[in-house]
Amino acid sequence: MWVAAGQFSVSADWQANARECVALMRTAADRGASLLVLPEALLARDIADPDLSVKSAQTLDGGFMQALMTQSRQDSLTTILTLHVPSTPGRAVNTLVALRGGETIALYQKLHLYDAFSVQESRLVDAGSLIPPLIEVEGMRIGLMTCYDLRFPELALSLALQGAELLVLPAAWVRGPLKEHHWATLLAARALDTTCYMVAAGECGGRNIGQSRIIDPLGVTLAGAGATPQFIMAEVSAQQLKEVRAQLPVLTNRRFALPQLL
């Protein structure tokens, strides 16, 4: 099947961001993609106000999601993204949403909050407490992750051991020294750790690096974006996955039981 990732620079206007998401959904559907991954925290962003994403939080039946649901009802695409959903006053949960047919088919609250490199996501965001579910797209089992989760191989491995064949990762990977190197290295490593395909969508603009990637189970980049708005696609194959796992059976060769995560 064909999978896609779309990246753009999130603005301070949630309605404009919703229109960007809808446009990418239409492009993916028109080009025959079965799965589209969009970046993390798409409601609103402003470099001058790092708290805007949380201040702009909306419920899952708010205007932002309603706009995407309307488009989703018009195609068979599965779309993955994250947005901030209010929790307690002044706080929110970074929530991954999977849409198909105008319905929410899965939710995941981000486990690993980005308290690193002088950023403290947990100051205003509540962490999730559950391992994300798997979903199925065109017969392929998909594991859900969000941005900073990429640095924790236990989560990707847990999903692969549950049966994931492809991992998705909406992200807003913050710029900084060597951060592009970390991004590329970790994406390839998680693909190799799990012998899964990876579809990662990164927000671009003044704060974040973009560089969306689609990677095969041997860590090879099949399609990649730069630092500007872009749409990428690649074909993924259950047969190729089966062949890779026969040649590189790391999931069955493991000698250590997965520790209890939560």
Residue of 20, 21, 40, 196 marked catalytic: 40
40 assigned to active site: yes
Report yes or no: 204 and 229 within 8 Å, Cβ to Cβ.
yes
Residue of 147, 165, 196, 203 marked catalytic: 147
Beta-carbon neighbour count of residue 1 at 10 Å? 15
Pairing of strands 119-120, 115-116: antiparallel
Residue of 21, 110, 165, 203 marked catalytic: 110
Distances in Å between the Cα of 147 and the Cα atoms of 40, 110, 169, 202, 221 are: 7, 9, 6, 8, 18
Name 116's bridge partners: 119
* 22, two tokens: 């809808």
147 assigned to active site: yes
178 vs 89: CA distance, rounded Å: 36
254 vs 29: CA distance, rounded Å: 39
Distances in Å between the Cα of 8 and the Cα atoms of 19, 39, 42, 159, 172 are: 11, 8, 10, 28, 11
166 vs 140: CA distance, rounded Å: 7
Report yes or no: 25 and 220 within 8 Å, Cβ to Cβ.
no
Distances in Å between the Cα of 28 and the Cα atoms of 23, 25, 34 are: 9, 5, 8
Name 209's bridge partners: none
What residues act catalytically?
Answer: 40, 110, 147
